[in-house]
Amino acid sequence: MGFAVAFCVLAITVPIFTLDNGLMRTPPMGWLAWERYRCDIDCQNDPKNCISEALFRDMADRLSEDGWRELGYVYINIDDCWASMDRDANGRLQADPKRFPSGIPHLAQYIHDRGLKLGIYGDMGTHTCGGYPGTTLDDITTDAQTFADWEVDMLKFDGCYSNAKEQEKGYPAMSKALNATGRPIAYSCSWPAYQGGLPPKVNYTQLGEICNLWRNYGDIQDSWSSVLTIADWFFNNQDILQPAAGPGRWNDPDMLVVGDFGLSMEQSRSQMALWAIMAAPLFMSNDLRTISSGARTILQNRVAIGINQDPMGVQGRRLLVEKSGIEVFWRPLSDKASALVFFSRRTDMPYRYLTSLAKLHYTHGTYQIYDVFAERELGPLKDSTDFVVSVNPTGVVMWYISAPADADQNSAHMGEKLRGPALHRKSDGILL
């Protein structure tokens, strides 16, 4: 790609520590109930939206029938409030019999039959955050085996109603117990979020050895201010967080709220772009039955997804914070390619940002540029050539940038990388 050597050395010399299950070599993608549906258990008055097997079947149908599964959105994840208030006679967790009358194993089979995977929620504590039975230290082996017996594919392990000492024992113990079941179960740890997210309380080397992904920060809400707060925390602490991420071990800034109520289309593109740059898990929390065409187009953008899913697995960085309110983000990709995001914090009008690839530390050469959300090639661009990008208020311009080469080779390379019916590419050859 030709970016500054220091960043590249940082990215490729970090040792790889992963949970010994071979899962999530790229960031996981799917759908997660919590932000949109919370703990709605009123199935009598709100049957379409309550936490029930019907809701998860509906979302599985949508993932499998509406083009999501083929793009990588394969997890259907249950969050809190699924369980009965009591364990069974053998001390095992059980689903609420009214809302999940068929049981979790039957739901897992329904989801697997559609080429998808089932995630479930637990809590390292006496109770879940919603007040349902938690997993104490004595319950860890039993609960891990229960999830394996149910053919669950992922566990999100929260941390309400526990203390730091219990978490220090419980999160590694659950990792070991999941592995011991013999079933590959991806493991999402909320441990760092309960310890402030940063060293010395959080040991990211250890997390990379026991967890596939982890929540570093608080819950996302359906608002632009929440998205900004989370993104700022991650990029303000990127020197600590970036080396921790890699294939099989991901920082998790929480769910995509694109398609809900709080973000404009510009802000929705911004969240998708920033999460892709961060190599973040892409778990949508929305209603796939009623999602707008605009939100669907953003979430199903093949090139944005491809950037997020890049197999090299290097988390991106914020390069610049300009006084004008423009920020620039960068991520190295496979085949010596890269992604750039120009993001505007402004709220007044589109801003014309002047720069060059050389000013952004790209080395000498000619690069081919593809505008991810406009879905068009922009033509060859020399590193030394000044260009202007117009960035809308609270919006982004996202570029996929090929490796430097001569123009003909670059054009062929881009055509190969971006080929696909869902791209709807424009071949108008617009130059910058």
Q: Known catalytic residues?
A: 158, 219
Matching residue, tokens 């919370």: 38
| H-type alpha helices, 26-94 | 34-37, 53-65
The whole-angstrom separation of Cα 395 and Cα 400 is: 17
Matching residue, tokens 């010395």: 200
Query: What are the start-end ranges of the E strands in 149-265?
Result: 154-158, 186-189, 213-215, 250-252
The whole-angstrom separation of Cα 328 and Cα 316 is: 11
The whole-angstrom separation of Cα 135 and Cα 429 is: 58
Query: What are the start-end ranges of the E strands in 138-266?
Result: 154-158, 186-189, 213-215, 250-252
Q: Characterise 151 by phi-psi region: left (phi > 0), alpha (psi -120 to 50), beta (else).
A: left
Contact indicator for 282, 297 with CB cutoff of 8 Å = no
Torsion of CA 16, 26, 219, 85, to 10 degrees: -100
The whole-angstrom separation of Cα 297 and Cα 302 is: 9
Residue 200: asked if its preceding bond is cis (omega within 30°), the reply is yes
